[in-house]
Amino acid sequence: MIVTGGLFDLQANGFAGVDFNDATLSADNFQHALEAMAATGVVQCLPTLITATEAELGARFAALDMAAAQAPFGAKMVPGYHLEGPFLNPAPGFRGCHPAEAMITPDIALVDRLQGRLQKPILLVTIAPELPGAEGFIRAARERGIVVALGHSDARLDDVKRAVAAGATLATHLGNGVAHQQHKFDNPIFSQLAEDRLIACFIADGIHVAPHALGVMLRAKTRARSILVTDAVAGAAAPPGLYPFAAMQVERGADGAVREPGAPHLAGSALTLDQAVRNVAAWGFCSFQEAALMASVHPRAAMVDAAARHGAVLLEGEVRWSDDQRVVETTLAGETLYAAS
């Protein structure tokens, strides 16, 4: 038997057939998704909404917030939310599947308006730091107890350094949300790897970042400054097929990749966090226990101060794994969320 801390996913757009970006999201469906996440060792998560207009974000947050309040697991498993956009780079290759027409320059007033209608806090916002007004936005967000991450960005080294000096602390799914052709050295990936004050989040599915490249990135960033996330959509913990995602339709292929039908870019992932831990250990980058730290202790540490500012509690959880690294039991604050039959 292997015992680790409970896993904490900082980026989950949906799970087990349920889209968290659905303005009609129900408490029952959200509870189903949280139960399925608990079966993968996740004890807490930040449900993530992607780029949309203010009206769309308002409606989606309202549904998500109501579902989180009413779902039995919502109070403990959801300390707050992650807003990934609309303050992203709209250029092809950087925007990914996010709608470019809804992207705007960083606007803390928009975040304030969205937050003003919510019971739970927006704890994490991803922005492109090269956009006008990014530094002021980061400072204002930090004053409000919001963690700022960099992502979907064409940031160069100077952009990254200014953003970190202003208070940005995370890199969202580093290695993704960037164009394929870049300057050889002064590019968003190298720039964020080189900034030692920045903690990097990685999607360890072998699709978003090839295993050999992930190994290099982990060595550069170090395990102590690395976090595993899923960027999961409704197709995670679900069979291959078509699924809703933020007013789009995406397809989970048999290989686990998720794309808009006919589009070359990825649209979230079908990864589960327990599989990410197994992958990193199986690829030989560290021990299983060390991989689990990147999915439990490290994300918790990245969010604990912000959560405390909002009165949100990051509860202690535990995962018991079989000797072949499968989740046997997930508990949170003494409550069993999942037990294998």
User: 172-199, pLDDT tens digit by residue?
Assistant: 999 988 877 778 888 999 999 999 999 9
**Residue 263: its pLDDT value, please?**
84
> Where do the structural domains in the chain lie, given as residue ranges?
2-315
Q: What's the mean pLDDT when you consider all of the chain? A: 96
**Residue 56: its pLDDT value, please?**
98
Strands 317-321 and 327-332: antiparallel
CA-nearest of 170, 118, 124 to 147 is 124
Q: Identify the CATH assignment for 2-315 out of 3.40.228.10, 3.20.20.140, 3.30.70.270, 3.20.20.80.
A: 3.20.20.140
Neighbour count for residue 119 (Cβ, 10 Å): 8
Of the pLDDT bands very low, low, confident and very high (cuts 50, 70, 90), residue 294 is: very high
Q: What is the arithmetic mean of pLDDT over 21-46?
A: 98
Residue 264 scores a pLDDT above 90: no
Of the pLDDT bands very low, low, confident and very high (cuts 50, 70, 90), residue 3 is: very high
User: 106-152, pLDDT tens digit by residue?
Assistant: 999 999 999 999 999 999 999 999 999 999 999 999 999 999 999 99
Least confident range of 10-14, 181-185, 312-316: 181-185
- 76: which 2 tokens? 């403990």
Q: What is the arithmetic mean of pLDDT over 295-320?
A: 96
Residue 262 scores a pLDDT above 90: no
Instruction: Let me know if 27 is exposed, middle or buried by CB neighbors in 10 A (0-12, 13-18, 19+).
Output: middle
Q: What is the arithmetic mean of pLDDT over 16-24?
A: 98
**Residue 74: its pLDDT value, please?**
97
**Radius of gyration for the alpha carbons in the chain, expressed in angstroms and rounded:** 18
Q: What is the arithmetic mean of pLDDT over 270-298?
A: 98
Of the pLDDT bands very low, low, confident and very high (cuts 50, 70, 90), residue 96 is: confident
Quote the distance between the C-alpha of residue 190 and its chain's center: 21
**Residue 122: its pLDDT value, please?**
98
